[in-house]
Chain A
Amino acid sequence: EAGVTQSPTHLIKTRGQQATLRCSPISGHTSVYWYQQALGLGLQFLLWYDEGEERNRGNFPPRFSGRQFPNYSSELNVNALELEDSALYLCASSLLDRANVLTFGAGSRLTVL
């Protein structure tokens, strides 16, 4: 069974640009989560999608947005990039009734210059 897959692995952007990160969940998982791990920090909750709907979002500005597609894959968009957006972005998936047990992808490393 394929795990959670994320693309791209690495992405380099400049300030003010937009970044799009993609995630494919484990087959059968309807919930997708996005977390940010900045250097030296723990994982910070960004967004939760289930059945195509945004269910919850963390304490991040509106320029962080995303969506979930009918096949349950998801993308995270970060607009007007700032230097402090440089981080590892982790996507995870779960069954809706096991929302605490997340299966994570390896992450997308975003570098903003």
Chain B
Amino acid sequence: DQQVKQNSPSLSVQEGRISILNCDYTNSMFDYFLWYKKYPAEGPTFLISISSIKDKNEDGRFTVFLNKSAKHLSLHIVPSQPGDSAVYFCAASYGSSNTGKLIFGQGTTLQVKP
């Protein structure tokens, strides 16, 4: 049962344009969402997060939007840079109850072309 889904395995955008990565979830009990970025041969690194009490969180070029009614979140990268090329994972947790468990999507490979 895939509770967090990233339906686009890959995305290619031109440098300077916007990258939009999408993520859907099924469990309405999730109350904290995160994005991680992974380069080859490295572990995933935390990028940005959002609590379910918010609908938007911004950090520099990265913005995460949360639509609770649609159970959908998206990561916007503006402007995209070649160094952003990586695999992006969204993850969800029951943040208010500390289970230590993150539920990850399958990942989306972003390629930013110079």
Residues of A within 8 A of B (CB): 4, 31, 33, 35, 40-45, 48, 50, 55-56, 58, 90, 92, 96, 99-107
25 A-B residue pairs with Cβ-Cβ distance under 8 Å, sorted by A, are A35-B104, A42-B4, A42-B6, A42-B107, A43-B104, A45-B102, A48-B100, A50-B100, A55-B100, A56-B99, A92-B43, A96-B98, A99-B93, A99-B100, A100-B32, A100-B49, A100-B95, A101-B49, A102-B46, A103-B43, A103-B46, A104-B36, A104-B44, A106-B41, A107-B43
B42 at the A interface (CB under 8 A): yes
CA distance A65 to B93 in the complex (A): 23
Closest 10 A-B residue pairs measured CB to CB? Answer: A104-B43, A48-B100, A42-B104, A43-B104, A42-B106, A45-B101, A56-B100, A104-B44, A105-B43, A106-B43
The answer to whether A101 touches B4, judged by C-beta atoms less than 8 angstroms apart, is no
A102 to chain B, nearest CB (A): 7
